[in-house]
């Protein structure tokens, strides 16, 4: 989830026209226009006209196809985003993420600078670092083709003067950036910082997912907690200029070791 895999390539104007021709938004005087467009696009995603991990037609193409304003199309895309079916990537486009809507509530952080609070004092104890070929599960998570190579790192995240274990981390580093392996655990920077420093690349977007899981026996032993302790899992995908992530991290915290907070500012109409 190598530059972009073929499935992530932007839809060409010709392809977009072909795909869009398969459906139109039904007119319904009882529903706003943007909802009709949203429902038509959602049907197209569910039917496979817009496969997962590909880009929707551009905003301009959607406006032309539906004979709708930019504002109307953007509202339809907003509903798809809130449903968890698509994500918007600056400079890339709108990517299909799921074939059906997600009923779970999702909150997004708007400022990259607000993302990390604990990282300044954290370090890594590396247990394994090697090249792997992505299996089916990993390819789905990484947005790449099957058996594509990535640098895989397993580590314990340590915090504080006593270097207490606070989390178990799995990281997948895009093969363009594998030279950072020599610095992992030795240089006091997060993996994203190592990539930015060594390659002069800017991380422009971080997509986050939160989930809960009981912690398995092996990881529980590393974290010094009882097996099946409740765990918080944070998956982060770091993007630069392209739609394939530069870095993906999957970090598991015992519920007693992690508190995540955010503040949301309300934009009031003037």
The answer on pLDDT for 162 being more than 70 is no
Q: What is the pLDDT of residue 211?
A: 93
pLDDT for residue 14 is more than 60: no
| pLDDT-derived band at 110, boundaries 50, 70, 90 | very low
Enter the tokens of residue 85: 């079916």
Going 199 to 202 to 205 to 207, the CA torsion angle's sign is positive
**How many other C-beta atoms lie within 10 A of the C-beta of residue 239?**
21
Domains belonging to the chain, first-starting first, are 33-96 (1.10.10.10), 117-254 (3.40.1410.10)
Task: Provide the β-strand partners of residue 264.
Answer: none
CB 115 within 8 A of CB 134: no
- Token duo for residue 153: 């790192």
| pLDDT of 119 | 55
Q: What is the pLDDT of residues 205-259, one digit of tens each?
A: 888 899 999 999 999 999 999 999 999 999 999 998 887 899 999 999 999 887 7
Predicted local confidence at residue 140, as pLDDT: 85
What's the mean pLDDT in 124-150?
Answer: 91
pLDDT of residue 262: 65
Q: Which of 4-13, 97-106, 236-245, 253-262 has the lowest mean pLDDT?
A: 4-13
- From the list 50, 53, 56, the residue with the least C-alpha distance to 245 is 53
User: What residues contact residue 60 under an 8 Å CB cut-off, 6+ apart?
Assistant: none
Give 111-133 pLDDT, tens digit per residue.
454 455 455 557 889 999 999 99
pLDDT in tens, 37-64: 999 999 999 999 999 888 999 999 999 9
Q: What letters, b where the CB count within 10 A reaches 16 and e where it falls short, cover 226-235?
A: eeebebbbbe
The CA–CA distances, whole Å, from 41 to 4, 51, 73 equal 24, 12, 10
Q: What 3-state class would DSSP assign to 70?
A: helix
**Angle formed at CA 95 by CA 104 and CA 69, multiple of 5 degrees:** 95
């Amino acid at each position: 989830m190598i530059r972009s895999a073929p499935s992530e390539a932007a839809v060409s104007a010709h392809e977009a026209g072909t795909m869009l021709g398969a459906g139109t938004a039904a007119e319904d005087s009882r529903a706003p226009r943007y909802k009709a467009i949203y429902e038509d696009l959602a049907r197209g995603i569910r039917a496979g006209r817009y496969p997962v991990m590909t880009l929707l037609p551009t905003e301009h193409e959607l406006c032309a196809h539906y004979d709708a304003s930019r504002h109307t199309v953007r509202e339809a895309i907003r509903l798809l985003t809130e449903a968890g079916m698509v994500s918007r990537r600056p400079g890339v486009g709108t990517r299909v993420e799921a074939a059906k809507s997600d009923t779970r509530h999702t909150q997004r952080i708007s400022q990259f600078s607000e993302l990390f609070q604990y990282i300044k004092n954290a370090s890594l104890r590396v247990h394994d670092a090697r090249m792997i070929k992505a299996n089916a599960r990993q390819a789905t998570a990484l947005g790449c083709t099957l058996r594509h190579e990535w640098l895989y790192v397993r580590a314990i995240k340590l915090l504080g003067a006593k270097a207490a274990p606070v989390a178990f981390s799995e990281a997948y580093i895009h093969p363009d950036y594998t030279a950072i392996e020599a610095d992992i655990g030795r240089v006091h920077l997060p993996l994203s910082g190592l990539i930015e420093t060594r390659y002069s690349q800017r991380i422009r977007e971080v997509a986050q997912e939160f989930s809960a899981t009981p912690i398995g026996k092996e990881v529980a032993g590393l974290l010094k907690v009882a097996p099946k302790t409740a765990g918080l899992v944070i998956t982060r995908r770091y993007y630069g200029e392209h739609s394939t992530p530069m870095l993906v991290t999957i970090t598991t915290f015992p519920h007693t070791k992690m508190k995540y907070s955010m503040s949301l500012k309300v934009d009031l109409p003037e």
